């Protein structure tokens, strides 16, 4: 089947994707025995200090799309929709999945593919918002996104504020000397 004919990824404004996705941000997530376990789910804001973050994803594949390999990709985007970079590389997680039909399952039953991606801490800036964007087979949908905001803490300047200038030097001939520090 040609990729353009694949009903799993064919998305038009008037037709939703055949694959359904549920995403949730959490303190952590885990997959065991084909089930998704979520701890502290439903996060939409955190911080200002870095903390662990889990992305829990459930992909529902139609019965007729069983045993078809797919690729997935999860990108972290900033407020402007640009990829967040870490050490000059975009923060991206990717993989493959293929939904199989378990023995004894009633024909026509949707197939569930659970994914759990955990980060010890995400390099984000207080006062900013971010979005995790999922793509399957290089296609995405507006519903395959989960956004969050990073709070600004007491004494933490908002992300857009420039740092305060250093105090002026006491001696004009010694610009490195600060007042009160001998």
| Strand ranges for the chain from DSSP E | 20-26, 28-32, 35-39, 45-46, 53-61, 70-77, 85-86, 89-90, 92-97, 111-119, 129-136, 145-150
Q: What is the pLDDT of residues 125-148, one digit of tens each?
A: 999 999 999 999 999 999 999 999
Residue 164 has pLDDT above 90, yes or no: no
Domains located in the chain, CATH noted: 3-150 (2.60.40)
| High-pLDDT (> 70) share of the chain, % | 75
Residue 95 has pLDDT above 90, yes or no: yes
Distance of CA 21 to the CA centre of its chain: 14
pLDDT of residue 9: 45
pLDDT of residue 124: 93
Strands 145-150 and 45-46: parallel
Which DSSP string do the residues of 29-71 spell out, in sequence order?
EEEETTEEEEES---SEE-SS---EEEEEEEEE-GGGTT--EE
Mean pLDDT for 38-63 is: 95
pLDDT of residue 6: 46
pLDDT mean across residues, the chain: 83
Mean pLDDT for 70-94 is: 95
Residue 67 has pLDDT above 70, yes or no: yes
Mean pLDDT for 53-71 is: 95
pLDDT band, residue 155 (cuts 50/70/90): low
pLDDT band, residue 7 (cuts 50/70/90): very low
How far is residue 147's CA from residue 160's CA, in Å, rounded to a whole number? Answer: 19
Mean pLDDT for 83-102 is: 94
pLDDT of residue 154: 79
How far is residue 148's CA from residue 13's CA, in Å, rounded to a whole number? Answer: 25
């Amino acid at each position: 089947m040609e990729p353009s004919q694949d009903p799993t990824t064919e998305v038009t404004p008037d037709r939703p994707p055949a694959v359904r996705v549920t995403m949730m941000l959490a303190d952590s997530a885990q997959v065991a025995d084909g089930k998704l376990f979520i701890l502290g789910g439903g996060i939409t804001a955190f911080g200002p200090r870095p903390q662990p973050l889990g992305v829990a994803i459930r992909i529902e594949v139609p019965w007729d799309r069983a045993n078809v390999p797919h690729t997935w990709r999860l990108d972290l985007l900033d407020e402007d929709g640009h990829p967040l970079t870490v050490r000059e590389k975009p923060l991206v997680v990717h993989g493959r999945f293929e939904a199989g039909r378990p023995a004894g399952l009633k024909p026509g039953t949707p197939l569930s593919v659970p994914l759990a991606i955990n980060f010890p801490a995400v390099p984000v800036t207080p006062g900013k918002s971010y979005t995790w964007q999922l793509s399957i087979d290089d296609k995405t949908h507006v519903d395959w996104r989960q956004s969050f905001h990073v709070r600004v803490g007491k004494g933490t300047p908002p992300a857009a504020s420039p740092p305060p200038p250093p105090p002026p030097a006491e001696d004009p001939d010694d610009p490195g000397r600060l007042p009160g520090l001998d």
